[in-house]
Amino acid sequence: MRYFPRPRIFYVSPWLLAAATALLVLIVVTFTLNNIRREKQLMTQAMLQKADTLMRIVHSGAKSAYLFDLGKGIWRTDPWHEYVQRVINHVAEEPDVLIIAVVDETGTIIVHNKAEFLGDRMSITLPAATADMEPEPSTGYRISSNPGTGRQFEAVRSFFPYRPLARPRGPGNRRPDQRQREGMMFHPPNLQEEFIPGGDDRHSYYIVVGLDMRNFDQALRRLKLQALILSLAMLLVGIGGWLSLAAVQGFRVSQRTLAEIKAFTALLVAKLPVGIIATDRGGRITTLNSAAEEMTGITGRAASGRVPGEVLPPDFSGFFARSGNGQGNAGSTAGREREMVVSVAGRQQYLFCHCIDVLDNQGEYQGQVLLISNLTQLKGLEKEMRENERLAAVGRMAAGVAHEVRNPLSSIKGLALLLKGKFAPESRESETANLLIQEVERMNRTVSELLSFARPAPLHVQEVLLRELLADTLRLIASDTENSGIVTRLQLADDLLPVAGDPDRLNQVFLNLLLNAVQSMERGGELKVFAQNNGEKGTVVISIQDSGSGIAKENLSQLFYPYFTTKTGGTGIGLAISQKIISDHKGSIRIDSVPGQGTTVTVELPAFQGEGTADPA
């Protein structure tokens, strides 16, 4: 009989539990304080709004009372504060209104809801005096304590009483419309004065409203009590939930179940992100992850619960073959791992598959796991490495021949300079000598570039006008095309964009490609050069098309290899150098050919984006 350790209820450290509880308490307390603060702000805002409303009632009521008297033909000589006092006496009947008063800039009480305070000085901070009658003056407030009434909310703001001003009015001062209506409209007893709403601004007045805060304090106490109860409930629920979770974790599966899944899950975690296909004891698929879906083209939902041979391609299902006794073929390594090439959704993938059996601690068979590694990227890196080795070979070759090439170049340049001196400066022969000198210098630069092929120097990137560059290059091979009976055609888009590149390097590339095209048409033909923009990629595409002999299909993949050539007497480095230059420009070059019909070389270069264009190198 096997012994299993008695499962523990809690697998959580007491310190971790204490830290989690403290964090929960901190969160609950913060939440509670924020709620209380927010509710307090809302209640304060409500009291401020109520005080502001009372202030507006006082101002509007006094004004309405004065205008009402005038409308009834009642002319009163009472000062403005008498009207304000009547309105305040009415408003002060509200139970929670303690103070409604109007004071001047010195704090002297002009109007008060309690007559015994008239003329006293009120101790309150007044806002700054307002020069103009603002339609919406600001309201300040404070909370003070009174031994008799407890806490009270005091609000204050500027008060502009509605006061009439009088000025003499005689017949000469009357407006025409007033004289016409004199018999129809009401005038005050003093017919020599007209009254204008407003008043002098020699004094600043303020209205003060004091509200009882007992209801506010009671509501705040209830809110705090509710928040405390809610916080305690949340805390208890959180602690209870944590304890429940810890208790649930204590009821774990038996040691045998843990042992069965341990080997299975360990492989899944250890081999990610490779493709994983797992089967159970009965040979049915239980796991097929997303990486395996991409590699096999089969979804995990479609494969779940089915035998590998029913859903997987034969290349994959063959790994799950089992012997008749129900045991996996763990003892045999034949066919358990293999590298293969598969095509899924039109994409070719290089895969390495390794199948293993899953056994528990007692050695009993539990299923199989097929691990699939995608080597496609690795194969690409290997190809890139071979490409780098090829480029390095060109560099080593260039270093060996540079000295031998430069010596005759120096002699040719010297002879060209000598010939140039024997002809008139404006003659055709002098121009030909100049062209020879320029080409010798360019060839010398090319030799220098070959020397640095393995260590490419930075490009001198600038705006290159392909229209001029291609035209100049065609002029350089004009004598060759004429001698071979080749017709050239240059067709460029009207809105052709300039490219970002090194003009000398690009001239070297196009000259090499054009010469290759000319040499492929020994019996004449047609040489076409096209250039157009590719707006989607922000590039310019240049195509060089000849009607020569073409290139065999088996040779196309080797054209950019150093020393590989299909021409008699060719060196096999021209295309390799051209590809390197185009690659340094962040461009691409592609060759398509049909034997007997001709060859098309397509070069794609990034368009020039302005002075801030980054150096492609």
pLDDT tens, residue by residue, 372-386: 888 888 888 888 788
Q: Over the chain, what is the mean pLDDT? A: 76
Higher-pLDDT residue of 4 and 42 is 42
Q: CA 286, 291, 294, 296 torsion: positive or negative?
A: negative
Q: In this predicted structure, what is the pLDDT of residue 540? A: 94
Q: In this predicted structure, what is the pLDDT of residue 522? A: 82
Higher-pLDDT residue of 615 and 546 is 546
Q: Which two tokens stand for residue 133?
A: 């009658």
Look up the CATH superfamily of 256-321+335-374: PAS domain (3.30.450.20)
Domains 32-163+198-220 and 460-617 belong to one CATH topology: no
601 — pLDDT class (breaks 50, 70, 90):
very high
Higher-pLDDT residue of 133 and 270 is 270
Q: In this predicted structure, what is the pLDDT of residue 270? A: 47
Backbone angles phi, psi at 93, to 5 degrees: -70, -15
How far are the Cα atoms of 51, 87, 347, 494 from residue 60, in angstroms, in the given order? 14, 9, 83, 77
Query: Is residue 567 pLDDT above 70, yes or no?
Result: yes
The percent of residues in the chain predicted with pLDDT above 90, rounded, is 11
CATH of segment(s) 384-457? 1.10.287
Q: Which residue from 612, 424, 606 is spatially nearest to 499, judged by alpha carbons?
A: 606
- Please check whether the domain covering 460-617 is classified as CATH 3.30.565.10: yes
The residues spanned by each domain of the chain are 32-163+198-220, 256-321+335-374, 384-457, 460-617
Average confidence (pLDDT) over 344-369: 85
**Of the ranges 286-300, 309-323, 462-476, 515-529, which one carries the lowest mean pLDDT score?**
309-323
Phi-psi region for residue 345, left (φ > 0), alpha (ψ -120 to 50) or beta? left
Query: Locate tokens 């601004």: which residue?
Result: 201
Q: Which fold has domain 32-163+198-220?
A: Beta-Lactamase (3.30.450)
Q: Is the pTM of this model over 0.75?
A: no
Cβ neighbours, 10 Å, residue 569? 6
